[in-house]
Amino acid sequence: MTVTGAEAVPAVSVKVSDKPAVIPHFAEGAGWNTKIELVNTTEDRMNGEMHFLSPGSSSEPGSLVEVGVAGSFASVIEYDIPPRSAQT
């Protein structure tokens, strides 16, 4: 994940897994945005969905929220990444 405008570039190395991964925070609005880069280091095609959720609370789970992506808005984004490549 790269947070633009904040000069911070956190990078997470994740072992290949078919289990869901969680990015605990994303920013959008008030001059902030989040850039997520998915990297496929395997020899196999990688595909799935990213779901964007509100924070929720101790008594209520988060719900889907729409975020700006490539000039439109969505709460679920599908990805399909060829072997040894990346998608932003």
Tens of pLDDT, residue by residue over 11-56, are: 666 666 777 878 888 888 888 888 888 888 889 999 999 999 988 8
CA nearest 10: which of 40, 30, 42, 35?
Answer: 35
> Would you state the pLDDT for residue 28?
81
How confident is the model over 49-76, as a mean pLDDT?
A: 89
Domain map (residue ranges) of the chain: 1-10+24-88
pLDDT score of 83 more than 50? yes
Element (H, E) at 72: strand 72-74
